[in-house]
Each structure stands twice: as C-alpha cells, then as structure tokens.
Amino acid sequence: MSIPLTDLTSQYLSLKADIDAAIQGALLSGSFILGPEVQSFEQEMAAYCQTGHGIGVASGTDALHLALLACGIGQGDEVITTPFTFIATAESIAKCGATPVFVDIEPGTYNINPALIEQHITPRTRALLPVHLYGQACDMTRIMAIARGNGLKVIEDCAQALGATWNGQRVGSFGDAGCLSFFPSKMLGAFGDGGLVVTYSDEVAQQVRILRNHGARRKYYHEVNGFNSRLDSLQAAVLRVKLPHLDRWLAQRNDIAVSYAAALGTLPGLAVPVPTPGSTHAFNYYTIRLQGTAGYRDRLADYLRSSGIASAIYYPVSLHLQDVYRGLHYAPGTYPVSEKAQDEVLSLPIYPEMTPSQVEQVTDAIATFGG
Ligand SMILES: *Cc1c(COP(=O)(O)O)cnc(C)c1O
C-alpha cells in the first residue's frame, strides 16, 4: 500500500454527510461571496485564535499582503523575516513595495533566530514577520520584546501553525495580525483557496475589511485602492464543518509525531523535531533532518519513493538565493543555517487519518535504508 504525504479524500469521507449538507445549504442560500456563512466562520475563528476579529480573504498569501498593508507597510520600508519559508511570505512584503530583510534561522526549530534580529534593524525597519514553520511556534516572548523595544509591528505567518500555542497562547494572537491559510493541505483545509487575518486591533481589522473588498466600506464608495480578495461562502461552509474537529486532528498529528520520534529518534544521522518547551506543535509537517554524506537526504527520499512512500522538501532553496531576489544581492553563505537546512530536511507523511501500521511502514522503510 502506498502512503501519501496527506490524505484529503479520507478526511472528506470521514465527514461526508456533514460536508455534503453544508454545501447543499450554501448552494440553496443563493449567497456566494462573503455572506452569513463567512461572517459566522470569521467569528468562530476569532474565538478559536483568541483574537477579537477574523477577516476572511481569498488565500493565505492575500492574508499576509493585506495584513501588511493594514499595518501601514509600504514603499521604502523594510520587513524582517526568515529565508527558510514558502515564497508567499517574502512575496507579500515585496508586493507592498517594501523590502524583505532576511535573518537566519535556529537549527533546532527552523524558525527565525531571535538573537540575530536586532543586528538587522535599520531606520527603515517597520515590522517583523515571523513564520511558525511546520507548526512549531516561534519564541513569541522574545520576538514581541524586540518589537516593543524598537517600535515595530508584528505580522505572524501562521499558515502552517493554526492551533499551535506559545506559553498557552495561540499563535496569531501575539502580533498586530496573524495570517492563516486554508490551502487544502494545511491544518484546516478548504476545497480550494482561502485565507483569514486574525487580529485584536480594531483598526487593522477595519482596514483589512476595506482592502479585501475594493477599498469600500459602503458599496460603490471607495476610500482606497483595494482588492477583490474575499473568502467565498462555499469554502466557509465547508470550513465550519471542519473547525470543530481541528483540536482532535491536532492531537492525532501529535500522537503520530510521538510514534515517529520513538522509532526514528535513535537512528544515527537523523534528527527528529522536538517541540520547544512551553510550546505546542501543530505538526502540519513532520520534518526530519538527515546529516550524512552529500546527497544522503535525496537518496533516502528516492528510496522511500521506490517503497511507495511520499515525502517532500520544504524548502529546497532558501529565499535569499531565489532568482526573484537576485536584485537584493545576497551571496551564498549569507545564511548558513538556512542553507544547511535546505539540503538536510525531509518531511514525512502525516495526517490525522494515518494508521499506526502506516506509520510503522514509514519508520521500517527508513530503518532499513542503508544510506
Ligand atoms: C501555504 C503558506 C502560505 C500561503 O498560503 P496560500 O493560502 O497558499 O496562499 C504562506 N506562508 C506559508 C509559510 C505557507 O505555508
């Protein structure tokens, strides 16, 4: 039996009756853009994330872009972020006319290293954009202290970490805004694209609401240049069915992580993810590190593929080395921890419906791989 990275079909089948009914209801309502389903979902998400507001948008990428704009980020500004993330993080900064300034990561969590942030702050720095990578919360105590000490905004990229906590508090609720993605393979996946901004700030919430809908508070009265970036009712209806299951899915993902760690943690040349004390990990991805001879990680990935087991590399090229940022003139070697991680990480299958025997199939294959 082959094992996928994630299994969206079995999740749908496990909730089929409820999801089908919700879709039917949305179709019969005749309301497709925003509307009552979206409004209810926004309130439920704000409650879940322990923030006052939730604003549905078209994608996680738009959540980042609109949140940055709502925080006043624009032309000439610098925003500090990690080079070890999905392109959308830096792309959204650039789309505001601002410049992404990268700071190297910590080797253990793969998240931005708070100890290196202050040396990158300049008079143009306006915000910090930490990413809770793979589902591991960043050290928000230190990041918020740096932001307060330097008068910076904080926009959290929570696309992989919905439900994760730092000191008992949900990610997304620390900074000025938290950005969520409902891309199908994320913790809470829609049947298409979707995203949401959560915030405790009335002003940021108001601004995102205006921006997502053509810059208008009132239909046909436009205050600013806005966007068409709305969450649709159909996706909200589906997500409302899934949300009550999220905590159970988080627990199931954590159980699988415990099984993986027990079987893989003692293998030589292999490091398993260890959640930072004081945090809970969402395990959107279960990412191991392979430290062996050159190409060791890629040979393991090939071996798994030939055994019918999917795996993925998040991410093979750090953002400062991407063609799109050639103009920023970052030389290879600028962020050594990130560049080492890009050669050594491998994400294994993990999804709530994964059975113990599937986990065992993966761990057995890795244990028998000779290198
Ligand atoms: C998925 C993801 C995004 C973008 O989300 P989309 O909904 O696909 O636009 C942003 N940042 C990170 C870290 C992500 O994993």
- Domain C-terminal end among 222, 244, 266: 244
Query: Which residue's CA is minimally distant from atom 14 of ligand 1?
Result: 159
337 pLDDT higher than 90: yes
Residue 59 CA to residue 38 CA, distance in Å, equals 14
Looking at the structure, tell me whether residues 175 and 54 fall in a common domain: yes
How far does the centroid of ligand 1 lie from the alpha carbon of residue 260, in Å? 25
Do the beta carbons of residue 74 and residue 96 sit within 8 Å? Answer: yes
Closest atom of ligand 1 to 160 CA is 15
**Mutation test of ligand 1: which of 66, 95, 181 has the most ligand atoms closer than 8 Å to its C-beta?**
181
Looking at the structure, tell me whether residues 213 and 296 fall in a common domain: no
How far does the centroid of ligand 1 lie from the alpha carbon of residue 54, in Å? 17
Is residue 1, in this structure, part of any structural domain at all?
no
Q: What pLDDT does residue 293 have?
A: 83
Q: What pLDDT does residue 364 have?
A: 97
Closest atom of ligand 1 to 131 CA is 13
Q: What pLDDT does residue 292 have?
A: 82
Looking at the structure, tell me whether residues 354 and 319 fall in a common domain: yes
Looking at the structure, tell me whether residues 214 and 100 fall in a common domain: yes
| Per-residue pLDDT band at 56 (split at 50, 70, 90) | very high
Around Cβ 111, how many Cβ atoms within 10 Å? Answer: 23
Instruction: Report whether residue 159 contacts ligand 1, using a CB cutoff of 6 Å.
Output: yes
Q: Model confidence over 154-199: pLDDT tens digits?
A: 999 999 999 999 999 999 999 999 999 999 999 999 999 999 999 9
370 pLDDT higher than 80: no
| Tokens matching residue 99 | 């410049």
Instruction: Report whether residue 111 contacts ligand 1, using a CB cutoff of 6 Å.
Output: no
Q: Between the CA of residue 224 and those of 41, 69, 155, 212, 216, what are the distances in Å? A: 26, 11, 21, 11, 7
Looking at the structure, tell me whether residues 198 and 225 fall in a common domain: yes
- Domain C-terminal end among 211, 244, 277: 244
Instruction: List the CATH number of the domain containing 330.
Output: 3.90.1150.10
Where are the extended beta strands (E) located within the chain?
53-57, 78-81, 99-102, 125-129, 153-157, 165-166, 169-170, 177-181, 195-199, 216-218, 221-222, 270-271, 279-280, 286-290, 345-348
What is the count of structural domains for the chain?
2
Q: What pLDDT does residue 117 have?
A: 98
300 pLDDT higher than 90: yes
Among 333, 366, 336, smallest CA distance to 349 is for 366
What type of residue is 55? I
Is residue 19, in this structure, part of any structural domain at all?
yes
Looking at the structure, tell me whether residues 311 and 328 fall in a common domain: yes
Q: Model confidence over 164-175: pLDDT tens digits?
A: 999 999 999 999
Query: Which residue's CA is minimally distant from atom 5 of ligand 1?
Result: 60
Looking at the structure, tell me whether residues 137 and 175 fall in a common domain: yes
What is the mean pLDDT of the segment spanning 37-60? 97
Q: What pLDDT does residue 163 have?
A: 96
Q: Between the CA of residue 163 and those of 29, 170, 247, 251, 371, what are the distances in Å? A: 30, 6, 7, 10, 36
Looking at the structure, tell me whether residues 16 and 128 fall in a common domain: yes
- Domain C-terminal end among 244, 266, 283: 244
Do the beta carbons of residue 226 and residue 216 sit within 8 Å? Answer: yes
For residue 79, the cross-strand partners are: 100, 127
For residue 300, the cross-strand partners are: none
Looking at the structure, tell me whether residues 166 and 74 fall in a common domain: yes
What is the mean pLDDT of the segment spanning 263-286? 96
| Tokens matching residue 357 | 């025997």
Closest atom of ligand 1 to 88 CA is 10
Looking at the structure, tell me whether residues 270 and 184 fall in a common domain: no
Instruction: List the CATH number of the domain containing 143.
Output: 3.40.640.10
For CA atoms 224, 225, 229, 230, the dihedral sign is: positive
Instruction: Report whether residue 61 contacts ligand 1, using a CB cutoff of 6 Å.
Output: yes
Looking at the structure, tell me whether residues 78 and 219 fall in a common domain: yes
28 pLDDT higher than 80: yes
Q: Which domain, by its residues, includes 206?
A: 8-244
Q: What pLDDT does residue 371 have?
A: 64
Is residue 85, in this structure, part of any structural domain at all?
yes
Is residue 171, in this structure, part of any structural domain at all?
yes
Reported pTM: 0.97
Q: How much of the chain exceeds pLDDT 70, in percent?
A: 100
Looking at the structure, tell me whether residues 236 and 331 fall in a common domain: no
